[in-house]
Amino acid sequence: MENREIEAILNEIAELLELKGTNAFKVRAYQNAARAIGNLQEEVSLLIEEKRLGKVRGVGKSIQSKLEELVETGELTYLDELRDGIPEGLFDIMSVPGMGPKKTKVLWEKLGVDTLEQLEEACKNDEVASLKGFGKKSQDKILDGIANLALTRGRRLRSQVVHHAERLKAAIAALDGVERVEVAGSLRRGRETVKDVDLLVASEDAAPIMELVREDEEVDSIIGSGETKTSVRLKDGLQVDVRVVAPRSFACALAYFTGSKEFNVALRGLALDLGFSLNEYDLRPLDGSPPPEVADEPALHRMLGLDYVPPELRENTGEIDAAKEGKLPRLVEAEDLTGVLHVHTNWSDGTASVEETVRAAAELGYSFVGISDHSQAATYANGLDFERLKRQREEVEAARAAFPQLRIFHGCEVDILSDGRLDLEDECLEWLDFVIASVHSDLTMERSKMTKRLETALQHPRVKVWGHPSGRKLLKREGSQFDWEPLLDVCADRGVAVEVNGHPMRLDADWVHVRRIRSRGIKLCVNPDAHSPGAMNHAARYGIVEARRGWASKDDVINTLPLEAFERDFLGLAATS
């Protein structure tokens, strides 16, 4: 049983308990446990074997024994009992905006409504409006919510919402009286996917901002709009939340609106322990004395006895304890990158020539770039065999002449075949400057076979980088299943770096595993996986953020080394000049 599945089951239990009207703290305990499992760097089955599951924060005696049953038998009596008597359709109903467990339960008990279709029917028949606690407006809102469900549900790639955020930010910033506008929420924390855009505004007068947002030309409908907060749905279904506070509250408000929710709860709990109440306005002493000025987020964290916690780390997965003890790493930055590998050209499935491609790297100020098109097995991508690689080398040489200040490595993203062999002959692998080994086929292979396959590939002496290890495509498919630990053993032994693929749809290795990889002292290689010159900056723009979320420092990232060291110590190439 995969951690993902266990996480989903714990979340389902939480929802079922909510519907039953169980104590909210018990519900939260299951939600917390689910999140803890989801952010685990190791397999639950391994933790059970080694009797370490109880050590996970949020997993106590009760949940531990349930997980043991689940992993051992594949079933969970407690879950089956809960499911019994609660129709599945209630989950769909709860996914309608504004419909929580309480209202869902009322409609189910009073009207027997337990599917979306029945709910829609009941609204159209005017049965809902007459119910106690409901009215005409709630009924219409439910109908609207059902009609737009397809558009509003689900998450989006961060790369796909940034333009909305920037456009609105600029529009708001242009208003009189606006002192600051910042993107907050999951977008600021750099999550791979986001549910909505959260914007925080500093101004003494909120009304004009609320009005501007409501009247924006991209707005389809207004979800809610009060004195200081407006939520709208854009024409493409994306939700935008705008919150306004007075400038003096900006630091506390930014901390609040950046989240995560779980980080906020933990930080506010810490504040209470220290004799304060923390909200989005101030840090108020419980003894009634006036709240101190909070200049910025670092000052707030300092007042709570913490080193500054960067937004990317605010997930309540140990960063607060680390910040207390001064043990947070100094995170890698985009400017630390000295160059990138994993770049495609029109020799395989990229759009540009070698020269156009490396120009983009030169323009970013890199001192090296590695060309790595696909290998022959990737026929769908026009992958290269040794012969074509030799011809490509001529174009690489020409580019070297054209860009003498840029070191251009000629490598290949070589397919890992189903049996773990690499897709090019050893002579060719020897001849290349570097080899990235990646899986592009047979991704759903059985777990132990996949582990063996990867192990064989990573053992090959010419492999320098393990490309997009999981093979996931965000919002499209889960990654492959395999055991990380034995593979990380190989990487550690052989000095293979694990890629942090910066393609906005991959971001692979993901931040959870980045943390594991770096904690084992294995190097990361942050790459763009660019298929066009414009995507060359995806290492800096997306890959680095994922690495930061995984607590990576400059030292953890191999392509922050100066050219000479990178070339000699990592790639093992003789110095050229």
Ligand X SMILES: Nc1nc2c(ncn2[C@H]2C[C@H](O)[C@@H](COP(=O)(O)OP(=O)(O)OP(=O)(O)O)O2)c(=O)[nH]1
Q: State the residues that interact with ligand X by CB under 6 A.
A: 185-186, 191, 194-196, 198, 241, 256-261, 264
Q: Which stretch in 273-281, 445-453, 491-499, 508-516 sits in contact with DNA by CB under 7 A?
A: 273-281
- What whole-number distance in Å separates Cα of residue 243 and Cα of residue 225? 10
- Nearer to DNA (CB atom), residue 88 or residue 394: 88
58 binds DNA (CB under 7 A): yes
Task: Tell me 49's DSSP state.
Answer: H
Q: Which of 496, 348, 343, 346 shows the shortest CA–CA distance to 408? A: 343
Tokens of 126: 């005017």
Q: Which residues contact 175 (CB under 8 A, 6 or more apart)?
A: 203, 208, 209, 212
Instruction: Provide, rounded to whole angstroms, the least separation between the CB of residue 247 and DNA.
Output: 16
Q: How far is the CB of 140 from Mg ion (least distance, A)?
A: 23
Q: Are strands 219-225 and 229-234 parallel, antiparallel or unpaired?
A: antiparallel
Q: Which amino acid is at 236?
A: D
Under 8 Å between Cβ of 114 and 108: yes
Evaluate whether 320 touches 300 at the Cβ level (below 8 Å): no
Query: Which among Mg ion, ligand X, Zn ion, none contacts residue 438 (Cβ within 5 to 8 A by kind)?
Result: Zn ion
CA 119 from chain centre, in angstroms, equals 34
Does position 196 bind Mg ion by CB under 5 A?
yes
Among 6, 9, 16, 29, binds DNA (CB under 7 A): 29
| Total residues binding DNA (CB under 7 A) | 60
Site residues (CB under 5 A) for Zn ion, limited to 421-480? 438
Contact predicate 453/445, CB 8 Å: yes
Compare residues 152 and 438 and give the one whose CB is closer to ligand X.
152
- Distances in Å between the alpha carbon of 95 and those of 15, 174, 237, 378? 11, 36, 15, 41
Minimum Å distance from CB 294 to DNA? 15
The stretch near DNA (CB under 7 A) out of 25-33, 81-89, 381-389, 393-401 is 25-33
Q: How many CB atoms sit inside 10 A of residue 420's CB?
A: 20
Distance from chain centroid for Cα 576: 39
The set of residues, in sequence order, having a beta carbon less than 8 Å from that of 190 and lying 6+ positions away, is 158, 311, 312, 545, 546, 548, 549
Number of CB atoms found within 10 A of residue 85's CB: 8
Residues 228-247 that bind DNA (CB under 7 A): 228-231, 239, 241
Site for Mg ion contains 241 (CB under 5 A): yes
Q: CA torsion sign, 224 to 228 to 233 to 239?
A: negative
DSSP string across 438-469: E--S-TT--HHHHHHHHHHHHHSTTEEEE-SS
C-alpha 100/C-alpha 85 separation (Å) is 19
Least distance between Zn ion and beta carbon 438 (Å)? 4
Is 192 a residue that touches Mg ion (CB under 5 A)? no
Give me the 542-561 binding string for Zn ion, x by CB under 5 A, dash otherwise.
--------------------
Nearer Cβ to ligand X, position 259 or 533? 259
Residue 224's binding partner out of DNA, ligand X, Zn ion, none, with CB under 5 to 8 Å set by partner kind: DNA
Which range of residues in 93-101, 119-127, 217-225, 234-242 is near Mg ion by CB under 5 A? Answer: 234-242
Name residue, tokens 């714990």: 10
Residue 265: which residues within 8 A CB-CB, separation 6 or more? 316
CB nearer to DNA: give 201 or 416: 201
**CB-nearer residue toward DNA: 25 or 576:** 25
Give the per-residue contact string, 198-227, with Mg ion (x = CB under 5 A; - = no). Answer: x-----------------------------
Count residues contacting Zn ion (CB under 5 A)?
1
In the bound state with DNA, the residue whose beta carbon lies nearer, of 125 and 277, is 277
Q: 253 or 557: whose CB is closer to ligand X?
A: 253
| Euclidean distance between CA atoms 298 and 315, whole angstroms | 17
- The residues, ordered by sequence, that sit 6+ positions from 66 with a Cβ below 8 Å of its Cβ are 76, 78
CB of 440 to Zn ion, least distance (A): 6
Judged by CB under 5 A, the stretch of 52-60, 78-86, 148-156, 196-204 that binds Mg ion is 196-204
- The number of residues that bind Mg ion (CB under 5 A) is 5
Secondary element (H or E) of residue 284: strand 283-285
Q: Cβ of residue 128: shortest distance to ligand X, in angstroms?
A: 26
Sheet holding 229-234, edge to edge: 178-184, 196-203, 239-245, 229-234, 219-225
Binding string, 92-121, against DNA, x = CB under 7 A?
-----xxxxxxxx-----------------
Only segment of 126-134, 335-343, 442-450, 531-539 that touches DNA (CB under 7 A): 126-134
Q: How many residues does the chain have?
A: 577
Contacted entry of Zn ion, DNA, ligand X, none for residue 136, CB cut-off 5 to 8 Å set by kind: DNA
Q: Compute the least distance from the CB of residue 369 to Mg ion, in Å.
A: 35
Residue 302 found at the interface with DNA (CB under 7 A): no
Query: What's the min distance (Å) between Cβ of 199 and Mg ion?
Result: 9
> Nearest-CB residue to Zn ion?
438
Closest CA to 106 of 72, 138, 83: 138
State the pairing for strand pair 434-438/368-374: unpaired
* Nearest Cα residue to 76 out of 63, 61, 94: 63
Q: Is residue 444 part of the contact set for DNA (CB under 7 A)?
A: no
Considering the complex, state which of residue 271 and residue 436 has its C-beta at the smaller distance from ligand X.
271
> How far is 353 from 295, CA to CA, in rounded Å?
50
272 binds DNA, rule: CB under 7 A: yes
CB of 152 to ligand X, least distance (A): 12
501 contacts which partner out of DNA, Mg ion, Zn ion, none, CB within 5 to 8 A by kind? none
Closest distance between DNA and the C-beta of residue 78, in Å? Answer: 8
Kind plus residue range of the DSSP H or E element containing 33: helix 24-38
Binding site for DNA (CB under 7 A): 23, 25-26, 28-30, 32-33, 56-64, 97-104, 129, 132-139, 141, 185, 196, 198, 224-231, 239, 241, 261, 264-265, 268-269, 271-272, 277-281
Query: Where do contacts with Zn ion occur on this chain (CB under 5 A)?
Result: 438
Query: Which residues lie near Mg ion (CB under 5 A)?
Result: 185-186, 196, 198, 241
